[in-house]
Amino acid sequence: MRKIQVKTASAQYPVIVGSSILPTLYRRLPKRSRIFVLTSPEIWALWSKRFLASFPKQDQPCVLFLPAGEQHKRMAQVERLATEMSAAGADRSSLLIAFGGGIVGDMGGFLAAIYMRGIDYIQIPSTLLAQVDSSVGGKTGANLASGKNLIGSFHHPLAVYADIDLLQTLSNRELRAGLFESIKAGIIRDARLFRFMERNVEAILRRDSKALEYVISVSIKMKAEVVGIDERESGLRMILNLGHTVGHAIEVATHYRKLLHGEAIAWGMLAALQLGRSRNTISSADADRVQRTILAYGPLPPFKATAQKLIEAASRDKKNRAGVRRFILPEGIGSATVVEDVKDVELIEAIDWMLARVREV
Catalytic, 233? Answer yes
Name the helix (H) or strand (E) containing 3. Answer: strand 2-7
Question: CA dist 154 to 73, 137, 138, 141, 202, Å?
Answer: 17, 8, 5, 9, 37
Marked catalytic residue, from 27, 31, 57, 117? 117
The one catalytic residue among 148, 156, 174, 181 = 181
Any catalytic annotation for residue 143?
Answer: no
Active-site residue flag, 257: no
Q: Which amino acid is at 167?
A: L
Active site residue 231: no
Q: Write the CB contacts of 67 (distance below 8 Å, at least 6 apart in sequence).
A: 40, 41, 77
Q: What's the CA dihedral at 217, 51, 101, 33 to 10 degrees?
A: -100
Among residues 148, 155, 184, 244, which one is catalytic?
244
261 labelled catalytic:
yes
Distance CA 219, CA 206 (A): 19
Q: Are 92 and 36 in contact (CB under 8 A)?
A: no
Q: Which of 237, 277, 319, 325 is catalytic?
A: 237
Q: Is 200 a catalytic residue?
A: no
Q: Are 41 and 67 in contact (CB under 8 A)?
A: yes
Annotated catalytic residue, options 155, 176, 231, 241:
241
Annotated catalytic residue within 73, 176, 223, 325: 223
Selecting among 174, 231, 233, 263, the annotated active-site residue is 233
Which of these, 279, 299, 286, 264, lies nearest to 187 by C-alpha position? 286
Task: Name every residue whose Cβ is closer than 8 Å to that of residue 247 and which is 6 or more positions away in sequence.
Answer: 261, 264, 265, 266, 267, 268, 269
244 noted as active-site residue: yes
Catalytic site positions? 117, 139, 181, 223, 233, 237, 241, 244, 248, 261
